[in-house]
């Protein structure tokens, strides 16, 4: 019993120490929020910091990925050496090798002197490669060599230079999809992704949204020397309901706009609505494919759903027609008024292949094709013929279209094939397959 009490006390002390340490890190690096996913990301960054493992930080744009390399650097043995952050997407493709690895004098136009690259400057420290997915493939090969051997060569030189650099990379694109599209090397991805750190988007940190808003509002109030803005309960609900596609960066920008523009320092939902795009208020799901990595729409899936909806509508039209005809044939009175009568008339008129609008006097009531007598008004609908459901078979449709094309062109297969948009060879094969005469 005593052992269990001591163990529990030790575990509680460790947990308390970790929570206190976590709060200190948040205060030091100005991190606002208490979500479990955010705390997990910070914990991983702190644990991996003492090692020399490469770290890949992933997350949407505006989630604050740039803070985590600093946490890793400051909690490592390299904290007294240089920390260099490089935005790979902001450097032109023609000069990025020179920026990262340096160049020799005269190696290209404008190279007026020798220049050290970032990897040489950061020797013994940490280099943060932001937007790593934007690196050209040729540069990816050079980076892979640095990660594996610590060696690189300046542009225009043949001398091998060694550098002891810890690499932390970040991206907001899906590297798995970039690899499948041939835009990112798979071996480099695995070399960078020794330890993954995933930063959650703001829409998954609902409880943190208001905390961030209040922090930004206080900061801007101090900067612009004015009272801090506040939200009433309805405005706060609206703030937390919004999806925040731009994440923390978007929230900060909107808070600054409100702080500067609004005269009233307590905002209602109507006031806040003016600053939030109206097309994205709700946290609604999006239709995406099962293997989609970036939320891109799978158009084949949408097409299948659309076809299903159209066939269901067609089936409903047939069911409605059949129901009315059955009621009429069994002597039940059918009175449709106004729009209902007009809708049913449109249903019949929409498919002349199923409903023949010309009455045939030489057919009796049961043996004749479905006949619509043309008399529909707002008070009564009359239809005395049997309903025949249209076949939805693709084979029957193909046969029907081929026969129509052959009839139209007098059996000349060349012109019939052109009419159908197929080759003569395909048309001949179809005629033979379906045993079509002509």
Q: With the C-alpha atoms ordered 177, 182, 183, 189, is the resulting torsion angle positive or negative?
A: positive
Dihedral class, residue 242 (left if φ above 0, else alpha if ψ from -120 to 50, else beta): beta
pTM of the model: 0.62
Residue matched to tokens 């706009």: 257
The secondary structure of 17-39 as a DSSP string is: HHHHHHHHHHHHTT-----HHHH
Which CATH number does the domain 31-104+114-198 belong to among 2.40.30.70, 3.40.50.300, 3.10.20.30, 3.30.930.10? 3.40.50.300
pLDDT tens for the chain, residues 1 to 438: 655 554 555 455 555 556 788 999 999 999 999 999 999 999 999 999 999 999 999 999 999 999 999 999 999 999 999 999 999 999 998 899 999 999 999 888 888 999 999 999 999 999 999 999 999 999 999 999 999 999 999 999 999 999 999 999 999 999 999 999 999 999 999 999 999 999 999 999 999 999 999 999 999 999 999 999 999 999 999 999 999 999 999 999 999 999 999 989 999 999 999 999 865 444 544 444 444 444 444 445 555 666 667 767 777 777 777 777 766 666 555 555 555 555 555 555 554 444 444 444 444 444 444 444 444 444 444 444 454 555 557 778 888 888 888 888 888 888 888 888 888 888 888 888 888 876
For the domain made up of 394-434, the CATH class stated in words is mainly alpha
Residue 374: burial class (beta carbons within 10 Å; 0-12, 13-18, 19+) = exposed
Residue matched to tokens 């600093």: 70
Q: Which CATH architecture has domain 202-280?
A: Orthogonal Bundle (1.10)
Residue 167 pairs with which residues in a beta bridge? 127
Residue 266 pairs with which residues in a beta bridge? 230
Helix, strand or coil for residue 390?
A: coil
- Is-contact 227 60, C-beta < 8 A? no
């Amino acid at each position: 019993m005593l052992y269990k009490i001591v163990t529990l006390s030790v575990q509680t002390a460790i947990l308390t120490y970790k929570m206190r340490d976590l709060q200190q890190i948040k205060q030091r690096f100005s991190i606002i929020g208490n979500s479990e996913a955010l705390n997990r990301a910070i914990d991983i960054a702190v644990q991996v910091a003492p090692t020399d493992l490469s770290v890949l930080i992933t997350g949407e744009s505006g989630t604050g990925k740039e803070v985590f390399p600093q946490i890793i650097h400051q909690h490592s043995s390299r904290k007294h050496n240089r920390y260099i952050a490089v935005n790979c997407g902001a450097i032109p493709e023609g000069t990025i090798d020179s920026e990262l690895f340096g160049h020799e004098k005269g190696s290209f136009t404008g190279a007026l002197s020798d220049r050290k690259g970032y990897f040489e400057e950061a020797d013994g420290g940490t280099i943060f490669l932001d937007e790593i997915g934007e690196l050209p493939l040729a540069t990816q090969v050079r980076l892979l060599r640095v990660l594996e051997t610590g060696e690189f060569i300046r542009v225009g030189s043949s001398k091998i230079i060694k550098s002891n650099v810890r690499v932390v990379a970040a991206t907001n694109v899906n590297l798995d999809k970039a690899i499948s599209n041939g835009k990112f090397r798979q071996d480099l991805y695995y070399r960078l992704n020794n330890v993954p750190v995933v930063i959650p988007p703001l829409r998954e940190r609902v409880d943190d949204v208001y905390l961030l808003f209040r922090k930004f509002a206080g900061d801007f109030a101090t900067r612009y020397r004015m009272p801090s803005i506040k939200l009433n309960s309805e405005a706060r609900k609206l703030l937390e309901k919004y999806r925040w596609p731009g994440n923390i960066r978007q929230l900060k920008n909107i808070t600054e706009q409100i702080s500067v523009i609004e005269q009233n320092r307590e905002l209602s939902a109507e006031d806040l609505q003016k600053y939030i795009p109206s097309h994205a208020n709700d946290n609604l799901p999006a239709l995406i494919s099962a293997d989609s990595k970036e939320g891109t729409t799978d158009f084949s899936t949408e097409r299948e759903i659309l076809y299903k909806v159209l066939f269901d509508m067609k089936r409903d039209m047939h069911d409605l027609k059949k129901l009315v005809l059955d009621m009429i044939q069994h002597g039940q009175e059918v009175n449709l008024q106004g729009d209902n009568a007009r809708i049913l008339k449109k249903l019949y008129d929409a498919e002349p292949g199923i409903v023949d609008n010309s009455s045939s006097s030489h057919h009796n009531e049961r043996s004749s094709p479905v006949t619509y007598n043309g008399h529909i008004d707002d008070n009564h609908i009359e239809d005395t013929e049997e309903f025949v459901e249209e076949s939805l078979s693709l084979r029957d449709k193909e046969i029907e279209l081929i026969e129509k094309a052959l009839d139209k062109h007098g059996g000349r297969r060349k012109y019939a094939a052109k009419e159908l948009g197929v080759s003569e060879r395909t048309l001949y094969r179809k005629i033979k397959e379906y045993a079509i005469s002509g």
